Amino acid sequence: MAPGATIAYDVLARIGMARYLECRQSKEIHLLLSRDCGIEVKASTVRYLARKFVAYFQIVHEQSIGLLRAAMRQRGGYILHIDGTCDGASEVVLVCIDSLSGQVLKSQRISSENHIEVKKVLQKIRREWGIPLATVSDLRRALITAVGDVFKGAPQFVCHYHLAADVGKDILLKHQDRLRGLFRATKVKADLQALKRSLKKYAIPKESSEHIVLP
């Protein structure tokens, strides 16, 4: 427990995991702590402690960069995946991940996914983690040019998911719009949903590897 604090670190960690790993709301966490731990923490305090957990987690992450980078070298380096939230009126959260370990290297808010701001984040990545074996991003020009400026010579790849989504949108969007129009015009959506529900009893459980042939 920190000096002067009334909440121990293990409770703080439990709140953080419940909020961000289990996606529980503050009132749920309040009831969880009361029921399972016999600890009464107001929902408003839970919200504050959840934010505090993130701050502590960031500090521990930054203090551990040396150890994490040593482990990274033992694996032979890292592959940098870069992606951001949709670039709209709100700020963008730019996330940089090492795909070999699944480790989030940097997650930072920027005003938009423009070349200058993306480049600043990538320069921090280079200072803290070195040059990656390769980079993977979507087709946004700002990402591609910023990566080329900061990690000169590192191979650049386009994310298959984003490429397929972009190509699929270009090829199929017109047909999808037409199909949606037909669904609305014929009013068959409710019938299709009912058919889907009726077929659930024939579904094979995800954990099963068996293939069932019905008569």
Q: How would you class 90 by CB atoms within 10 Å of its CB: exposed for 0-12, middle for 13-18, buried for 19 or more?
A: exposed
Please give the structure tokens belonging to residue 203.
């579904």
Mean pLDDT of 140-150: 93
152 and 187, same domain (yes or no): no
Neighbouring-strand partners of residue 110: 92
pLDDT at position 200 is 81
| pLDDT at residue 149 tops 80 | yes
Q: Do 87 and 132 have their domain in common?
A: yes
pLDDT number for residue 201 = 77
Provide mean pLDDT across the span 178-190: 87
Instruction: Kindly state whether residues 18 and 85 are assigned to the same domain.
Output: no
Same domain, yes or no: 42 and 108? no
Q: Kindly tell me if the per-residue pLDDT of 138 is higher than 60.
A: yes
Look over the chain and give the mean of its residue pLDDT values, rounded to a whole number. 86
At 31-41, the pLDDT tens digits run 988 888 888 88
Give mean pLDDT, residues 92-112.
Answer: 91
Is 43 among the domain residues? Answer: yes
Task: Provide the domain limits for residue 142.
Answer: 76-158
- Please check whether residues 25 and 52 belong to one and the same domain: yes
**Bigger pLDDT: 132 or 35?**
132
Give the CATH number for residue 154. 3.30.420.10
Residues 106 and 53: beta-carbon distance below 8 Å: no
Number of compact structural domains in the chain: 3
Per-residue confidence at 88, pLDDT binned at 50, 70, 90? Answer: low
pLDDT at 169: 77
